[in-house]
Amino acid sequence: MRILVVEDDLEAQRYLVNGLKEAGHVVDDAADGETGLTLALSRPYDVAIIDRMLPKMDGLRVVAEMREHSNATPVLFLSALSEVDDRVKGLKAGGDDYLTKPYAFVELLARIDALMRRRAPQAVKTRLQVGDLELDLLTRTAKRAGAAIDLQPREFRLLEYLMRHASQVVTRTMLLESVWEYHFDPQTNVIDVHISRLRAKIDKGFETPLLHTVRGAGYMIRARAA
């Protein structure tokens, strides 16, 4: 995948670029807003990672300009600013996701994957399937190997999110943001408890587990063991 990184802190930029390259992505970089905008408009990218505060042209303006030129590349904002209302500003300016520095690299990778997935043209799905686990989005019911699984509404949303991002790492923060719509870090990892309950409902009594814990990163739902 082609990724554009616009970051003025050169050391942070180097780590970001190296990390992304190691993860198998093709990366272009820019150190200021103007160069970033020129690159974003001249070449096709799958995702752009843009720092919120940049020399020459502010990150918010870069994205606003991109959107004005009908450039729909998904944008992930990186920000070292305080966050109470900054996130809202970033998303209003046309950003698709927002990550506060310092961030865990796995968090960044997981979010980029989610953004690229979102970009791929999707038929409106009414059913999701991973292995023998089926989710009917219309009747809001779940079945594994033909047997109905009783899910609470929030458990259904949690499973739906995981299945929409099947074979992809989903972090705890992403779950908290997407399923619960909270943008803060609870002191105790409440998400883990929800996941273990969900796991008990979908994996208990089956030989092949579907819901996996990815150490140091989050969770993943997939059919085959990696």
Partner 1 sequence: MRAPSILRTQAYRIVLVYVAVFAISVTALLAFTYWNTKRALDAQTDEIIQVEITGLSEQYQQLGLRGLADVVISRSAHGGPGLYLLTNHLKQPIVGNLDAWPTDKETPDSFVDFQYQRRVENQLETREARGRVFKLPGEFYLLVAQDVHERYLTERLFTTTLPWTVGLVLLLGLVGGAVMSRNTLARLDSINRTSAEIIDGDLSRRVPVGTSHDEFDALAENLNAMLDRIERLMKGVREVTDSVAHDLRTPLNRLRNRLETTQRHLDPATAEAVEIEAAVAETDQLIATFNALLLIAEADAGVARGAMTLIDLASIVEDMAELYAPLAEEKGVTLKITPAGATMIEGNRSLISQALANLVDNAIKYTPAGGSVTVTALETPQGVELRVADTGPGIPADERARVIERFVRLDASRSAPGTGLGLSLVAAVARLHEARLLLEDNAPGLRAVMRFPRPAPRR
Residues that bind partner 1 (CB under 8 A): 9, 11-12, 15-16, 18-19, 22, 53, 80-85, 88, 100-105, 154, 180, 182-188, 190, 193-194, 196-197, 216
The total of other beta-carbon atoms located within 10 Å of residue 62's CB is 30
Q: Are 21 and 27 in contact (CB under 8 A)?
A: yes
Q: Which is nearer to partner 1, 103 or 223 (CB)?
A: 103
By C-alpha distance, which of 44, 186, 187, 27 is closest to 109?
27
Nearer to partner 1, 37 or 158 (CB): 158
> Smallest Cα–Cα separation from 78: which of 5, 175, 184?
5
Q: To the nearest whole angstrom, how small is the minimum distance from the Cβ of residue 23 to partner 1? A: 10
At its nearest, how many Å lie between partner 1 and the CB of residue 197?
A: 5
Cα–Cα distance measured from residue 50 to residue 39, given in angstroms and rounded to the nearest whole number: 12
> Which residue, 73 or 155, has its beta carbon nearer to partner 1?
155
Q: Which is nearer to partner 1, 19 or 131 (CB)?
A: 19
**Least distance (Å) from partner 1 to the CB of residue 70?**
30
CB of 16 to partner 1, least distance (A): 8
In the complex with partner 1, which residue's Cβ is closer, 33 or 73?
33
The three-class DSSP label of residue 152 is coil
Distance CA 22, CA 58 (A): 29
CA atoms of 200 and 196, how far apart (whole Å): 6
| Nearest distance, CB of residue 125 and partner 1, angstroms | 26
SS3 156: helix
